[in-house]
Amino acid sequence: MATPLSPFENKARIHAHLGFFAFVVGLPLGILISRYLRTFTKHWFWPHAIVNLFFVGPLVFATFALGYQLVNTSGIPHFFDVHQKVGLALLILYIIQVCLGVFIHFIKLPASVTARIPGGRPPQNYLHGLLGLSIVLLACWQTHYGLWHEWAFITGNAHPVNWRCKHFWLGFVTAVWAIYLLGLLLLPRQYKQERQNRKEKSEGSNDGVPLI
């Protein structure tokens, strides 16, 4: 008969679940909202922002806080192994990404400047899109490492991760990236709409947080 999880293992499991929902569910959802909705409506920004700030944000900070507490309890040094270091990096990158998104939305370059830039979009918009994808890619690696390695290291592996969890992780991550790649097929339509908008308006603002 299997023994129940210890309080430490329960906290580690909650940490894993929160991190998964923050970085592998929430952030990709925000990206997919931008990728798909922007092709069909001009009102895509606030759904994108609400998901990434008000849904993902609390989960990100709760994940980090629980991870910090787990390291305190374990007695090992903070930021000792790669999982801890990448966790800190993800927190910092998330904060940078949110600040960059706020800057892009509320501080606009003059139309005369953006008109000279290929695509009519300032460089920070491209940076925001690439950074968002990089965070999700790094988070996929991080959650994989947590399931396959860190759980055994930090808990002693008295209760190994169920293989169903690993299969679910693999299936979910594959589906997320497949849906995103399918969304890239909408880029020609998006570019056409943006060219049309630039022709119709001598001045306008681009809500464009990520291009990609």
- Residue 104 vs residues 123, 176, 177, 180: alpha-carbon distances, Å: 10, 26, 25, 22
Query: Is 162 within the bounds of a domain?
Result: yes
Under 8 Å between Cβ of 203 and 113: no
**Residue numbers of the domain that contains 99:** 7-200
* pLDDT confidence band for 113 (50 / 70 / 90): low
pLDDT at 95: 99
Query: Is 18 within the bounds of a domain?
Result: yes
Q: Containing H/E element for 141?
A: helix 123-145
pLDDT at 2: 73
What is the per-residue pLDDT across 118-175, written as a single tens digit (0 to 9) for each? 666 788 989 999 999 999 999 999 999 999 999 999 999 999 999 999 999 999 999 9
What is the per-residue pLDDT across 46-105, written as a single tens digit (0 to 9) for each? 999 999 999 999 999 999 999 999 999 999 999 999 999 999 999 999 999 999 999 999
- Count of domains for the chain: 1
Under 8 Å between Cβ of 194 and 38: no
Query: Is 205 within the bounds of a domain?
Result: no
Supply the CATH number for residue 108's domain: 1.20.120.1770
Is-above-0.85 flag for pTM? yes
CA distance linking residue 27 with residue 142, whole number of Å: 14
Q: DSSP class of residue 192?
A: H
Closest CA to 211 of 109, 119, 115: 119
Higher pLDDT, residue 200 or 28: 28
Query: Is 210 within the bounds of a domain?
Result: no
Query: Is 40 within the bounds of a domain?
Result: yes
Q: DSSP class of residue 19?
A: H
Q: Label residues 47-80 b or e (16+ Cβ within 10 Å = b).
A: ebbebbeebbbebbebbbebbbebbeeeeeeeee
Query: Is 64 within the bounds of a domain?
Result: yes
Closest CA to 49 of 132, 138, 134: 132
pLDDT at 201: 64
